[in-house]
């Protein structure tokens, strides 16, 4: 014919648009499906990106243009003399000392800020806050250098908290109260510097040393080295053994990696809502096609090509995708404020402190939301569009023919489901595939079970025909039969509900198992009666030393039968930064749960005293230290040293890894006798609360301390645990809401389609009560099918989450807490969702008169 096929004519566009406008309820449900999915995706992405960006800004603020940094293995910091020597040696590259500390400000509602001590002269090539400004008046600079406690703050912070030059502020550093004095207010020119400076207190290095009580010490020395690897190498060779030269990005990269698994897990969970939303879109689009089979047949007769029909349906999906995604983005931004707070809180609890509070709305998250929303909607519409394009131009294919074909396809879908499940399980058996393979495997498993669900649903409904027929009679037989006869849509709705409920059950089981595991772990690990430590900004492990006077008091406490000390620091290992805890507890072997032991239990302490170490499960898994004879290299003040592994213990305090070492060995190698936590074992009969009160009285003036009885500390740990899973719970709930809308959608569509049939039934004498019965039975059966399938599926998914996803994400082994109630829960959720969804259609059908229903048809 030589004629070009047009992809779309305005007439066809009208056909689509009018259909969407006429069937408003359907269109709204489709929009909701997309919008809810995108909302969660955007909200989580905003939280993730904001948390990451605020971390990057915090790092940028303190790293500046430094290419390398000198760091030490000494927990007290670098001796200032190292910096002085480098200066004296005439090093011809820019170098600058830095001291960092987190402080909290009571007047700012306990907000955490970063105190950064710098040498304003040496710092010029590194950070632009003072130099570029040029507007810092000389007298302010003089005060900054000379007045004790003098700091500069940024304009943002000053405005936010109504602070002005000359004001004093009380701050808390490691349990000690100090006063700072505002010497000047920095006015960064660009938005980026403004945000980077948000949360920073800039002080002269000597002031910072005084405020932190670390006179003569530095955290690091920044350098700008040319990109000549030889020079870097030569520079590194001339350093003392306890000092190491590292790339400036190394530390921030490893911190970022730490939270990567956490962020990926959140993203995966947010994708779940979108997947459930996709079922909804697919369901509605399929219905929209089924409903218009005759119309498509007519269009085909009029000469509309298959491709044009395909484009027509996908075009509708595009329109819905764009509108739904736009709505999703708006609600995502609103929800994002909550999720950002939750994610930042969890990161602060578990990983590190971020001080930057406001970050700009990341445009990429919004673009991502629209792209994913539109693409997903169009993908969900591909199959229905294909179905529409396959409508023969005769317009005579009966609906019953389509349903018969659907029933035949069930076998194919089930076979495909089994293959998909097999592929998913296959992926789990490749540990090398990591977290990504874990998620792909989980996705395949869910899709496989969803594909299989139609067959299982038919089996269940066939049984119901006989059972309900016997009990209720005509309506009892009719309800399951009608579901079987409209399988092309009911099966998708049931699959969607099943997936959402199964995931809810799985996440519930996983969280309960996690809580159970943590409780067991706390029981074994926290055996002290009273714990003493200085307040810290991260919730899990104390890192601020307690002062000597505190030790002097507890050592002679009459009610104490034993006192154990520990010192926690972050050390560099061959596997990156890890948390090292030096302990004096000789009974440690009995107070940890071991995954692997390479020495007998009673010889653990002896092994530690001889220089061996215990490593936590996440570290052992990551570094492959699960075999006897494994060793780990640590950077010590004497350079790199190798430590033999005596055992691997379960630990749920950190996912990056932890090491236990004997206090004696630590003090010998690190030359550090500080203590960060004390646990007291009281004599039998001693009053724990009374002892805590006594200690608080005695130590109140010495140092601000957390003196907590065992049960309070446990409760605090469980509170952090609860906070960590708050966002998971919220996401899980929203996924169920999407699934609920899916069932409502399917039921409404089914009722709309069966208006004529219902009218005839009413005309034949079906009472309003019987109509209610019919609709509620149908929805109930759908819910029951979904629930019956969701219970075992949820269990399988829980196993995957516990033994694959969690282990690959964080390296934790959780103890599965079997809960038969989960089955019941699955049934109740599904049934409740389905019955609730059935109320509206039943009410709607009852309102219409038979004559109306028949005439409308």
Q: Which structure tokens are listed for 750?
A: 């089914």
Q: How near is the Cβ of 816 to other proteins at its closest, in Å?
A: 51
Closest approach, Cβ 21 to other proteins, in A, equals 8
Q: Determine the Cα–Cα distance for residues 762 and 775; give it in Å rounded to an integer.
A: 13
C-alpha–C-alpha distance, residues 436 and 433, integer Å: 7
The verdict on 291 binding other proteins (CB under 8 A) reads: no
Rule CB under 8 A: say whether 104 interacts with other proteins: no
The residues in 580-619 that bind other proteins, with binding defined as CB under 8 A, are: none
393 near other proteins, rule: CB under 8 A: yes
How many residues touch other proteins under the rule CB under 8 A: the total is: 31
Nearest of 195, 196, 188 to residue 116 by alpha carbon? 196
Neighbours of 346 (CB within 10 A): 23
> Do the Cβ atoms of 790 and 456 come closer than 8 Å?
no
Residue (250 or 305) nearer to other proteins, CB: 305
Q: Does 86 bind other proteins (CB under 8 A)?
A: no
Instruction: Return the structure tokens found at 96.
Output: 């600058």
Residue spans of alpha helices (H) in 292-433 = 293-301, 306-350, 363-389, 399-428
Among the listed ranges 3-11, 347-355, 433-441, 824-832, the one in contact with other proteins (CB under 8 A) is: 3-11
Residue 705 engages other proteins in binding (rule: CB under 8 A): no
199 φψ region: left (φ > 0), alpha (ψ -120 to 50), beta (else): left
Q: For 574-729, where are the E strands, in sequence order?
A: 576-583, 594-597, 613-616, 631-636, 639-649, 658-662, 677-682, 706-709
- Residue 832 Cβ, how far from other proteins at the closest point, in Å? 37
Indicate the residue among 400 and 624 with the shorter CB distance to other proteins: 400
* 394 makes contact with other proteins (CB under 8 A): yes
CA 638 to chain centre: 39
* Region binding other proteins by CB under 8 A among candidate stretches 76-84, 93-101, 146-154, 300-308: 300-308
| Shortest Å, Cβ 6 to other proteins | 7
Does residue 305 belong to the site contacting other proteins (CB under 8 A)?
Answer: yes
Radius of gyration for the alpha carbons in the chain, expressed in angstroms and rounded: 33
Give dist(CA 244, CA 634) in Å, integer: 12
What x-and-dash track marks residues 6-25 binding other proteins by CB under 8 A? Answer: x--xxxx-xx--xx--x---
Residue 285 contacts by C-beta under 8 Å, 6 or more apart in sequence?
30, 313, 316, 317, 380, 381, 384, 385
Shortest distance in whole angstroms from residue 38 CB to other proteins: 28
- Out of 90, 110, 134, 303, which residue is the one contacting other proteins (CB under 8 A)? 303
Tabulate helix, strand, coil % of the chain (nearest 5). 60, 15, 25
Q: Is 853 in the site for other proteins (CB under 8 A)?
A: no
Complex with other proteins: residue 15 or 702, whichever CB lies closer? 15
Q: Does residue 3 bind other proteins (CB under 8 A)?
A: yes
Instruction: Using CB under 8 A, pick the residue from 106, 392, 401, 473 that binds other proteins.
Output: 392
169 scored as a contact of other proteins (CB under 8 A): no
> Could you say which of 214, 300, 579, 732 contacts other proteins (CB under 8 A)?
300
Query: How many residues are present in the chain?
Result: 857
Query: Given candidates 206, 322, 395, 737, which one binds other proteins under the rule CB under 8 A?
Result: 395
Of the two residues 389 and 614, which places its CB atom closer to other proteins in the complex? 389
Nearest residue (CB) to other proteins, 112 versus 305? 305
Single out the residue of 825, 836, 824, 848 nearest to residue 776, CA to CA: 836
Residue that is written with structure tokens 């006897």 in the block:
628
Q: Contact region for other proteins (CB under 8 A) — 5-13, 96-104, 510-518, 605-613?
A: 5-13
Q: Which of 291, 365, 285, 286 is nearest to 319 (CA)?
A: 285
Shortest Å, Cβ 300 to other proteins: 7
> HSE (CB half, 13 Å, CA atoms) of 685?
1
Of the candidate residues 108, 165, 295, 702, the single one contacting other proteins (CB under 8 A): 295
Indicate the burial class of 350 (C-beta count within 10 angstroms; 0-12, 13-18, 19 or more): buried
- Is 622 a binder of other proteins (CB under 8 A)? no
| Residues that bind other proteins in the complex, under the rule CB under 8 A | 1, 3, 5-6, 9-12, 14-15, 18-19, 22, 294-295, 297-307, 392-396
């Amino acid at each position: 014919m030589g004629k070009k096929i047009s992809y779309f004519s305005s007439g066809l566009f009208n056909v689509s648009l009018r259909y969407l406008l006429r069937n408003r309820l359907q269109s709204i449900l489709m929009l909701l499906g997309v919008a809810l999915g995108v909302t969660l995706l955007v909200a989580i992405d905003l939280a993730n990106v904001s948390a990451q960006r605020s971390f990057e800004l915090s790092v940028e603020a303190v790293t500046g243009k430094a290419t390398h940094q000198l760091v030490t293995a000494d927990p007290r910091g670098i001796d200032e003399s190292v910096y002085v020597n480098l200066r004296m040696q005439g090093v011809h590259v820019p170098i600058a000392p830095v001291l960092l500390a987190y402080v909290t400000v009571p007047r700012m509602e306990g907000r955490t800020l970063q105190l950064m001590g710098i040498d304003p002269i040496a710092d010029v090539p590194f950070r632009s806050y003072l130099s570029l400004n040029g507007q810092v008046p000389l007298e302010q600079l003089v005060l900054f250098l000379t007045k004790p406690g003098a700091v500069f703050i940024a304009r943002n912070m000053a405005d936010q908290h109504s602070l002005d030059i000359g004001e004093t502020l009380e701050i808390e550093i490691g349990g000690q109260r100090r006063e700072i004095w505002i010497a000047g207010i920095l006015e960064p020119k660009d938005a980026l510097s403004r945000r980077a400076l948000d949360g920073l207190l800039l002080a002269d290095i000597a002031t910072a040393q005084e405020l932190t009580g670390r006179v003569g010490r530095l955290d690091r020395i920044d350098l700008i080295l040319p990109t000549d690897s030889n020079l870097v190498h030569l520079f590194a060779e001339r350093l003392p053994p306890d000092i190491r030269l590292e790339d400036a990005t190394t530390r921030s990269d490893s911190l970022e990696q730490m939270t990567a698994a956490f962020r990926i897990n959140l993203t995966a969970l947010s994708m779940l809502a979108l997947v459930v939303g996709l079922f909804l879109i697919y369901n509605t689009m399929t219905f929209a096609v089924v409903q218009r089979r005759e119309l498509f047949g007519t269009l085909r007769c009029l000469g509309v090509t298959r491709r044009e029909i395909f484009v027509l349906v996908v075009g509708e999906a595009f329109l819905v995708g764009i509108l739904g995604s736009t709505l999703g983005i708006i609600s995502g931004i609103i929800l994002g404020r909550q999720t950002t707070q939750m994610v930042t809180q969890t990161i602060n609890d578990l990983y590190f402190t971020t001080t930057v509070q406001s970050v700009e709305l990341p445009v990429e998250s919004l673009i991502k939301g629209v792209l994913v929303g539109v693409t997903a909607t169009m993908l969900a519409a591909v199959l229905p569009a294909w179905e529409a394009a396959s409508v023969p131009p005769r317009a005579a294919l009966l609906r019953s023919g389509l349903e018969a074909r659907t029933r035949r396809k069930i076998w194919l879908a089930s076979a495909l489901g089994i293959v998909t499940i097999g592929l998913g399980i296959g992926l789990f058996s490749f540990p090398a595939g990591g977290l990504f393979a874990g998620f792909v495997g989980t996705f395949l498993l869910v899709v496989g079970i969803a594909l299989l669900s139609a067959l299982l649903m038919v089996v269940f409904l066939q049984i119901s025909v006989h059972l309900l027929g016997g009990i209720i009679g005509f309506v009892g037989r009719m309800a399951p039969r009608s579901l079987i006869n409209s399988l092309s849509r009911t099966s998708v709705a049931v699959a969607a509900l099943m997936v959402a409920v199964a995931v809810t059950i799985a996440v519930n089981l996983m969280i309960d198992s996690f809580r159970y595991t943590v409780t067991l772990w706390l029981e074994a690990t926290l055996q002290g009666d009273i714990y003493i430590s200085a307040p810290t900004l991260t919730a899990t492990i104390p890192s601020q030393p307690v002062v000597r006077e505190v030790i002097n008091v507890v050592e002679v406490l009459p009610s104490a039968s034993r006192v154990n000390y520990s010192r926690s620091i972050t050390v560099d290992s061959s596997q990156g930064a890890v948390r090292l805890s030096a302990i004096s507890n000789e009974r440690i072997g009995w107070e940890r749960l071991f995954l692997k032991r390479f020495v007998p239990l009673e010889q653990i302490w002896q092994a530690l005293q001889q220089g061996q170490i215990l490593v936590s499960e996440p570290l052992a898994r990551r570094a492959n230290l699960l075999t006897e004879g494994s060793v780990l290299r640590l950077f010590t003040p004497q350079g790199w040293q190798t430590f033999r592994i005596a055992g691997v213990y379960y630990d749920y305090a950190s996912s990056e890894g932890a090491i236990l070492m004997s206090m004696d060995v630590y003090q010998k190698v690190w030359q550090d006798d500080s203590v960060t936590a004390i646990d007291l074992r009281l004599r039998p009969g001693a009053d724990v609360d009374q002892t805590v009160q006594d200690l608080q009285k005695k130590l109140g003036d010495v140092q601000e301390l957390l003196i907590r009885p065992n049960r309070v500390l446990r409760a605090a740990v469980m509170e952090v645990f609860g906070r960590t899973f708050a966002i998971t719970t919220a996401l899980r709930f929203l996924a169920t809401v999407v699934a609920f809308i899916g069932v409502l959608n399917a039921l409404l569509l089914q009722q709309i389609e069966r208006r004529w049939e219902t009218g005839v039934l009413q005309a034949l004498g079906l009472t309003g009560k019987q109509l209610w019965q019919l609709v509620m039975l149908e929805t109930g059966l759908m819910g029951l099918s979904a629930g019956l399938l969701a219970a075992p599926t949820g269990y399988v998914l829980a196993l995957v989450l516990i033994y694959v996803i969690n282990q690959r994400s964080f390296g934790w082994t959780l103890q599965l807490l079997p809960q038969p109630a989960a089955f019941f829960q699955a049934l109740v959720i599904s049934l409740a969702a389905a019955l609730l969804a059935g109320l509206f259609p039943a009410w709607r059908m009852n309102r219409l008169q038979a004559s109306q229903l028949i005439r409308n048809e």
